Amino acid sequence: MVQIDVEKTLSELDLSEKTALTAGADFWHTVPIPRLNIPAVRFSDGPNGVRGTRFFNGVPAACLPCSTALGSTWDVELLEQIGELLGDEARAKGTHVLLGPTINIQRSPLGGRGFESFAEDGVLSGTLAGYYCKGVESKGVGATLKHFVCNDQEHERLAVDTIVTARALREIYLLPFQLALRICKTACFMTAYNKVNGVHVSESRNILEDILRKEWKWNGLIMSDWFGTYSTADAVNAGLDLEMPGPTLWRGEILTHAVKSRKVPDHVLDERVRNLLNLINYADKSGIPENAGEKELNRPDDQKLLRRAAAESIVLLRNNNSVLPFDKNKPIAVIGPNSKVASYCGGGSASLPPYYAVTPFEGVSKASKADIAFAQGTYAHQSLPPLGPHLKTNDGKQGFDFKVYNESPEEKDRKVVDRLHLVNSTGFLADYKNTEVKSDLFYADMEGNFTPEEDGLYDFGVTVIGTGKLFVDGELVVDNFTKQRKGSAFFGAATAEERGSRLLKAGISYKILVQFGSRPTSKLNDTRVVNFGPGGFAFGVSRRRELAESIEEAVDLASKTEQVLVVAGLNGEWETEGHDRETMDLPPGTDKLISRVLDANPNAAIVIQSGTPVTMPWASKVNVLAQAWFGGNELGNGLADVLYGDVNPSGKLSLSFPVRLQDNPSYLNFGSERGRVLYGEDVYVGYRYYEKTGVQPLFPFGYGLSYTTFERSNLSLDVASEKDTLEDGEIVTASIMVKNTGSLAGAEVVQLWVENPATTGIRRPVRELKGFKKVFLQPGEKKDVKITVEKKLATSFWDEIRQSWASEKGEYKVLITGTGQETLSAPFAVEKTRYWVGL
């Protein structure tokens, strides 16, 4: 790659080349123009790891805790280090631009991609995102703020019209993007799928041009979300530089015609191309070669960082009687559906194959010095767990053979045209290619040997974009060929899982054969907007258990063991891109299991894994409760570190946990109705609603316990004198003494809130988070902590009449909170009302 003279190159490009540059070449690359030495730039999915260029059989990667977990660390230094790790991972994958972070707002616990965003609050989300991006870009890799803006649900996400007031748009939904840019001017933005007030964001001149480029003075590249371009002239004229992915649907010859007919002015097309050429120059400075090979890192220091992130994200919600930390020298019973399953990330484009993933059971087993017992209790899966890792090839390797044919199984003397060794039995073939495969119509046989550990009735399942059959020792057990039903897997493109069962004996090897036909063989009526290529497959297995009997086994074990750990929750099936959750409930049977175990042992530690809140009908009787999220590669080790006290928990909730779904402010206004969603809660999202209405959440935003205690004292404010106009740098500095008054080292998160004046001008939240700082203290140690906030950001609301921010005259109050109930306060005044716009 080489630095381009942008203006000279613009003058040398012909019209067809210019239009070609404004769309992707394929799923991950821009179009190269070899005659002018214009290389391709490579993108890759984040936000919680760098996938590389392959959905199917990709190179494994470091997988971070999900973003709500990272949000719960409240740690800007950690987020910058996480960004640096992602930058290194991107370089290893030959990636010039990372497609993350996601900084949408969690309006509702039901949002399918809620786990991808940091917080329900723009200050926390935007600040953490800014440092995340700073870390990524320190490695020469571009970061992408997404999805700009109001992409807060999955239901009809390509079509839904978000109806939102200008005030809520500014104060809640645009704010995290605005604050992130104050810390790091990212290389890229990605537009949201949805409309905002009647216009798709990728066609919104107001949002892309007026706000992002003119008001915020940002000059990077704006790309569409994948398949999130819906027009030619409207999108180009609005400021959308790049349509992704390729090959183009809306540009190319269509855009050439639009330019020739003056639907798109020449200078506007030049501006789109100029931004792409500037991104190419940015990518060139990274030194990452064009079309670079992909490799693994998996370095020891990275593993330590991921373990630290997993542990620091865990939020201790209850610890009555100081049951935790556990004693490593005492036996422990580990119970529950998530114990021996690594729920390391949510589903959809955020998912990726990890280098490894440590289950909670594995983490506790490594840490404990005493006996460990296990009981399943219930399952948490929707579709059956992957069979692939439990298979062996004929030569003894973990996994199975994947053999591809151009002919169907009915044809004799078929020729194998491709052969792979796979372990993962979930294969999304969107980017599968082989020169011997003649078209999207092909067939694959997947073969391996399964040796069960227990006697019993085993359920097998097959899900496909295409068709599939599963055989056990030559007997057809699952038929997803003859009759097919619509399902939600693979972004909503797949069939429902079809199942069959077979009695199996422990220790006996059974030959498994899955016959797959690619997408053109499907019998489903395909009405989707997006075509994901040749299809996909998933096949799984689970030993059938009678729920009542399995729960009784768990209860019996809990009653006989002093130290009991229950790990339950959701996974990437329940929380995933493509569809929203229908309820906040845990998987069937889970609440009954937890309640019965607590009856048998009230001091059992309940650990929930989810990216967003779940209902907890047993909350009144739980003594020990922690939120562990989707914890990445090191989730099991990080959890064990906290349970045994090697790490003192310091996480604080990044979003409010309501008692029930009906308590959430978006309850009546979530999901598309006739193509639109009304953001009826306005600015009262999350804690702003609960505090304004007096509705008590189960656990509030910013809440979290520690194994030690802290004291906050001596609050003082230094308030800059006001000028005639509001300028950057007019600040309020809060100074606080923080002391660790307990017997264990630990970290405190000091939270600075501003209580708004009781004015008659406009209704406002009771208080709003405006700053925070995390500080680590040894037992007895005390430190002076300073938190600085800009007065204009700390006091302003969006004035819809003036179309500007308004810092209104009045008496404000700084509130300081942290671990425990203690709140410090100090007043400050805004002497005169002033208005401002900009970043």
225 is catalytic: yes
Task: Round to whole Å and give the CA distance between 630 and 633.
Answer: 9
- pLDDT of 373 reads 98
Amino acid letter at 334? V
Give me the DSSP letters along 547-587: HHHHHHHHHHHHHH-SEEEEEEE--TTTSBTTB--S-SPPS
Q: List the catalytic residue out of 75, 88, 152, 225.
A: 225
C-alpha distances in angstroms, 754 versus 140, 379, 768? 37, 45, 5
CATH number of the domain at 453, please: 2.60.120.260
* 320 C-beta neighbours (distance < 10 Å), count: 12
Helix, strand, coil percentages (3-state) for the chain, rounded to 5, are 25, 25, 45
pLDDT at 370 over 90: yes
Backbone angles phi and psi of 783, in degrees to 5: -140, 150
Number of domains in the chain: 4
Instruction: Let me know: does 164 contact 150? Beta carbons within 8 Å.
Output: yes
Give domain status of residue 771, yes or no. yes
**Does the pLDDT of residue 720 top 90, yes or no?**
no
Q: Is omega for the bond preceding 149 within 30 degrees of 0, making it cis? A: yes
pLDDT at 728 over 70: no
β-pair type (400-405, 416-422): antiparallel
> How confident is the model over 54-72, as pLDDT tens digits?
989 999 999 999 999 999 9
Phi, psi of 274 (to 5 degrees): -60, -40
Q: Do 34 and 106 have their domain in common?
A: yes
Does the structure show a pLDDT above 60 at 139?
yes
* 3-class secondary structure, 479: strand
- The pLDDT tens digits of the residues spanning 605-624 come to 999 999 999 999 999 999 99
Same domain for 639 and 751, yes or no, is no
Confidence of residue 491 (pLDDT cuts 50, 70, 90): confident
**One domain for residues 372 and 401:** no
Q: What is the mean pLDDT of residues 11-39?
A: 97
Last residue of a domain, one of 693, 727, 754: 693
Virtual torsion, Cα 541, 543, 546, 550, nearest 10 deg:
-110
Structure tokens at 664: 């959430």
Last residue of some domain: 508, 543, 578?
543
Do 435 and 519 lie in one domain? The reply is yes
Please compute the mean of the pLDDT values over residues 526-530 and round it to a whole number. Answer: 54
Say if 699 falls within a structural domain: no
- pLDDT band of residue 297 (cuts 50, 70, 90) is very high
d(CA 426, CA 664) in angstroms, rounded, equals 35
Q: Is the pLDDT of residue 301 over 90?
A: yes
Q: Are 110 and 57 in contact (CB under 8 A)?
A: no
Domain that holds residue 237: 6-285
In a domain, 701, yes or no: no
Contact 603, 330 (CB under 8 A): no
Are 784 and 682 in the same domain? Answer: no
Name residue, tokens 């005044």: 829
Beta bridge partners of 334: 374, 565
Asked, for residue 705, whether it belongs to a domain, the answer is: no
At residue 431, the pLDDT reads 86
Query: In sequence order, what are the beta bridge partners of 719?
Result: 732
> Is residue 295 domain-resident?
no
**pLDDT at residue 488, as a whole number:** 84
Whether residues 235 and 96 fall in one domain: yes
Mean pLDDT of 113-132: 98
Instruction: Indicate whether 726 pLDDT > 80.
Output: no
- The CATH number assigned to the domain holding 785 equals 2.60.40.10
What token pair was written down for 126?
Answer: 């935007």
Dihedral sign computed on CA atoms, order 169, 175, 180, 181: positive
Q: Is there a single domain that holds both residue 35 and residue 178?
A: yes
> In this model, does residue 515 exceed pLDDT 60?
yes
On whether residue 586 sits in a domain, the answer given is yes
Read off the pLDDT of residues 7-17 as tens digits, 9 standing for 90 and up.
Answer: 999 999 999 99
- Domain closes at, from 543, 571, 603: 543
Structural domain includes residue 600 = yes
Q: What are phi and psi of 176, to 5 degrees?
A: -60, -35
Q: Are 533 and 440 part of one and the same domain?
A: yes
**Domain identity same for 123 and 207:** yes
Whether 469 and 569 share a structural domain: no
Contact 367, 307 (CB under 8 A): no
Q: How many CA atoms lie within 13 A of 369 on its CB side?
A: 5
End-to-end alpha carbon distance in the chain:
33
Does 722 score more than 90 pLDDT? Answer: no
Residue 702 lies in a domain: no
Q: What is the pLDDT of residue 180?
A: 98
pLDDT of residue 237 exceeding 60, the answer is yes
> Which range among 107-116, 427-436, 444-453, 515-524 shows the weakest confidence by mean pLDDT?
427-436
Q: Residue 529: pLDDT band by 50, 70, 90 thresholds?
A: very low
Same domain membership, residue 583 and residue 481: no
Q: Residue 758: which pLDDT band, with cuts at 50, 70 and 90?
A: confident
CATH number, domain at 169?
3.20.20.300
* Other CB atoms within 10 Å distance of the CB of residue 660: 14
| Whole-number Cα distances in Å, 353 to 412, 571, 574 | 36, 15, 18
Q: Domain containing 313 — which CATH number?
A: 3.40.50.1700
Specify whether 465 is located in the same domain as 365. no
